[in-house]
Amino acid sequence: MKNYLSTRIKSMSYLPKWLILATVIGIIAGLGAVLFYEALTLATHFFLGYLGGYKVPTPAGEGNFSGSAHYVRPWAIPLVVVLGGLISGFIVFTWAPEAEGHGTDAAIDAIHHNPRGIRLRAVVVKIIASAVTIGSGGSGGREGPTAQISAGFGSLLTRILDLSPEDGRIAVSVGIGAGIGAIFSAPLGGAVLAADIVYRDDFEFEALLPGTLASVIAYTIFGAVYGYEPLFRIPGGYSFSHPIELLWYAILGLVAGGVGLLYSRSFYGIVKLASKLPIPRKYRPAIGALFTGLIALWLPEVLGTGYGWVQKGLSSELMHLPMYIVIALPLARIAATAFSIGSGGSGGVFGPGMVIGGFTGLTIWRLLQPWAPGVGHDPAPFVVIGMMAVFGGISRAPIAVMLMVGEMTGNMSILAPAMVAVAIAWFIVARSDDSIYRSQLRTKADSPARRLTYGLPLLTSMEVADLVRPTVVSLQSDESIVEALRRLHDAALPGAPVVNSEGKYLGIVKTSTLEEIPPSNREAGLGGATDTAGPSIPVSAKLDIGLEVLLQAGMGWVPVTDDDRKVVGILSSSDLVSGYNEVLSSNAGYVYDLTSKALAVEERVGKGAPAAGHSIREAGLPPGCVVVWVQHQGVRTYAAGSTEISEGDTISAIVAADEVGAFRQRLLAQNQTHGDKNKPHTE
C-alpha cells in the first residue's frame, strides 16, 4: 500500500500532488498545535501556578486574565525555573540532543541539508521539553515546538513516500509555516512564512501555494478547539491619520533594527558561552534558568511566553510603570531568552522576539509621547509596529512577520505605516548580515545542492540509471551486527543498505556506527542500528537529483531503488563525477540558446589551449564574452577578471552567437575541433 501511494503521488503533477500533501500536513500541524498548547497550559499551571504560586497574565484571545498582582512565594520562583531547566536538560540530552534550542532553526537546517532527517523522537522530546521549559517560567516561544511537529511530519512523509529532495524541502517548509500559523491564529502570515523564512534574501515560491492550504487547514483545526479570535486585541482599533506619524515610526525602525541585532548577538553569545561550560550538557539549561529566575524576581514580565504582558501594553495598563522599568523591559527579555534557550533549554525565539519588539515600541512611545506631535495618547500602534519591526528585521522575514502580527492583532490597517519601520529595521540588520535563524541561507544559489547544479545543465540530460552500479553488500534487517560487520570488513565498505526479506529498502548502516557498538551487544539484529532516515534515490531520477541526494547523505554513496522500493544498486560520488566528465567530453561545447544573438556555452579547457595559464582578462577571449563560472578541480566558483584558467577547467560563459567558434578556439587544444552541437536551452 505504501509503495502504491508513493508511486501514485510522485507521478502526479504539482497541483494535485500538493493538494494531497499540504492537506495532510495541515491536519497534523493543527492537531500538533492543539497538543502542544494543552501540554504548555498544564505545565504552566503546575510549575508556576501550583509550585510557584504565581499566575501569568494572558492575552485577549486566551481569556485576557490579568495574572497575579505580586508573588506569593518570591523565593520559589527561581527554584521553579531551575527545576524546569533541570528536567528539560535531562530529557533533551538523554533522548534527542538535536531538540535543544529553538526548533524552527533546526527545521530550516533540515530543509537545506536533509529534509528526511528530522526524527520523530526529536519531535516528541521537543514537545515535552518545551512545555516544561516555558511552563516553568523560561522565556521562550511556543512556535518552535509546533513548527517542529509539523516539519517533522513533513520529513516523515518525505521518507515514507520517497519524495524527491525538492518536494522534501517544500514539505518541511510548509510544515514550519502551518505550525506557526496555527499556534498564532495567523494563517496568512504562516503561509507566507513557509516561503519567506528559508532564505535571508530570497523567497521559496514553490512553498507558497501548498503553504497557504496547509496553514488554513491547521488554523481551522486549532480554532475549532480554542476559537478564532485574534491573539491580541487593540482597544478602539487604529487608523492612520497624519503623515508626521511616519517620522516617529521611522525612529522606531532605527531602534528596532539595533534591538534586533542585540537580541541575536546576545542569544548566540550565550550559546557560545554555554558550550564552553565545564559541566555536562544536561545541566547547562539549569544554569541559564537560574539567571532567568533571578531576573524574574525583579521583572515578572520575563516569565513564560510574555504574551499577556504585550496585551497589557496594548491596553495601556503599563503606563504606571517607572520610565527606567519600561526601558529595562526589552533588555531584560533579551537576557532571559538568551539564558533560557541559549543555554540549551527548549523553546522558540519567534515569540520572545515579538514580545521584545512590543516592549521596544512601548519604550519609544513613552519617550516621545510627552513632547512629539502626532504621537497620540494610545501606545498600541507603537507596540504593534515594534513587534513587526524588531522580529521582522532580525528574522529576515519582514513580509511574513508583518502579516502575522497584523492577523494576531486583528488590525491590518496598521500595515501601511508599519512598512516604514520594518523596512528600516530590515536594512539595518541586512547590512550586518545577521539573523536570529543562523541556518538560513542567503539565496537559493547558496543551497548545498543548487550551488553545484547551477551552471551544470548537463546533469539534467543524464539519469541515475546510467551510472548505478550493483550493490556489493545488502544487509538483511534480521542479520546480526557481528555478521554484518564481518561482511562489511571483508568487502572494505564504509556501509551498506539494509533491506527486508523482500529486498525492499529500510535504511542504511555505517561501518563506523556498528564498530562503536560494544562486542557484548553485537549479537542483536541490525534493526536498532539502522538509520531509517538515510536517503535513497529512485533509479529513474535525473542526475541533478542524484547529486542533491548525495550531498544530503554526506557519505559519498546512496542506495538506488526502483518503483517498488527494492534496492537495485548504489550511486557513488566518484561514479557521478566520472560519468559527468564522460558526458561533458562527448558534449564539449554544449551550447544553449539564450536569445537570437547570445548563447550560453559550457566548454572544457584542453591541454595546450591558448587560454590556459592566463587570467580571464588576458586569455584573449572574444569581445563581449562574459565568463560566469569556472570549475577548477571540482570546485565551481564565480569568475572574475583575475581568475586564472587552467587545463582541465570547465568554463561556462555567455557568448555572442557569431563568436562561439573563436571562444572555443581559445579553450580547446590546438589539434581539437568540434562540430556544431547547438541545443536549445530548456530551463
Question: Which CATH number do you get for residue 333?
Answer: 1.10.3080.10
147-156, 540-549, 644-653: least confident range: 540-549
Q: Are residues 466 and 340 in the same domain?
A: no
Query: Are 93 and 218 part of one and the same domain?
Result: yes
Q: How far is C-alpha 411 from the chain's CA centre?
A: 28
The cell for 7 is 508511486
Residue-wise pLDDT tens digits, 303-318 = 999 999 999 999 999 9
CB atoms within 10 A of CB 78: 20
Phi, psi of 627 (to 5 degrees): -85, 125
Q: Would 99 be classed as within a structural domain?
A: yes
Indicate if 172 and 35 belong to the same structural domain: yes
Per-residue confidence (pLDDT) for residue 584, from 0 to 100: 60
Q: Which positions ≥6 away from 185 have C-beta within 8 Å?
A: 61, 219, 222, 223, 228, 229, 230, 231, 407, 408
Q: pTM of this prediction?
A: 0.77
Residues 460 and 394 in one domain: no
- For residue 240, being part of any structural domain is answered with no
CA distance 660 to 592: 11
- State the total domains in the chain: 4
Residues 61 and 166 grouped into a single domain: yes
- Residue finishing a domain among 579, 604, 634: 579
From 92-106, 350-364, 515-529, 574-588, the region with the lowest mean pLDDT: 574-588
Q: What percent of the chain has pLDDT over 70?
A: 90
Lowest mean pLDDT among 65-69, 87-91, 184-188, 235-239: 235-239
Sign of CA dihedral 458, 459, 463, 466: positive
Q: Domain check: are 326 and 395 in the same one?
A: yes
Give residue 683's pLDDT.
33
How many CB atoms neighbour CB 52 within 10 A? Answer: 29
* Inside any domain, residue 298: no
Provide the angle, in degrees to the nearest 10, between the axes of the packed helices 143-160 and 120-135: 170
Instruction: State the pLDDT confidence band at 291, using cuts at 50, 70 and 90.
Output: very high
438 & 538 share domain:
no
Q: For residue 315, give the nearest of 239, 378, 409, 230 by alpha carbon.
A: 378
Section 419-445 average pLDDT: 91
Same structural domain, 411 and 273: yes
Tell me if residue 174 falls in helix, strand or coil.
helix
Which residue did the predictor score with more confidence, 449 or 239?
239
Q: Give the C-alpha separation, 650 to 628, whole Å.
A: 11
Check pLDDT > 60 for residue 451: no
How much is the pLDDT for 493? 87
d(CA 168, CA 110): 10
Is 358 within a domain? yes
Residue where a domain terminates, one of 392, 410, 444: 444
Do 462 and 507 belong to one domain?
A: yes
User: Which of 579, 601, 622 finishes a domain?
Assistant: 579
Q: How far apart are CA 651 and CA 614, in angstroms?
A: 13
* Distance between CA atoms of residues 71 and 85, nearest Å: 20
Q: What percent of the chain shows pLDDT beyond 90?
A: 52
> Is residue 239 one of the residues assigned to a domain?
no
* Domain identity same for 210 and 319: no
How many CB atoms neighbour CB 518 within 10 A? 6
CA dist., res. 545 & res. 452, Å (int): 11
Q: Is residue 273 part of a domain?
A: yes
pLDDT, tens digit, 9 for 90 and up, residues 577-602? 667 666 665 555 555 554 555 666 77
Same domain, 119 and 85: yes
**Domain presence at residue 232:** no
Q: Which of 411, 426, 332, 424 is nearest to 378 (CA)?
A: 411
Q: Is the predicted pLDDT of residue 219 greater than 50, yes or no? A: yes
Q: Which domain covers residue 320, as residue numbers? A: 250-280+304-444
Q: Is the same domain home to 343 and 418?
A: yes
pLDDT at 674: 47
Residue 510's Cβ-count burial label (10 Å; 0-12, 13-18, 19+) is middle
- How far apart (Å, rounded) are the C-alpha atoms in residues 243 and 231? 29
Tell me what pLDDT residue 677 has.
41
Q: Residue 614 is part of a domain; what is its CATH number?
A: 3.30.70.1450
Residue 244 lies in a domain: no
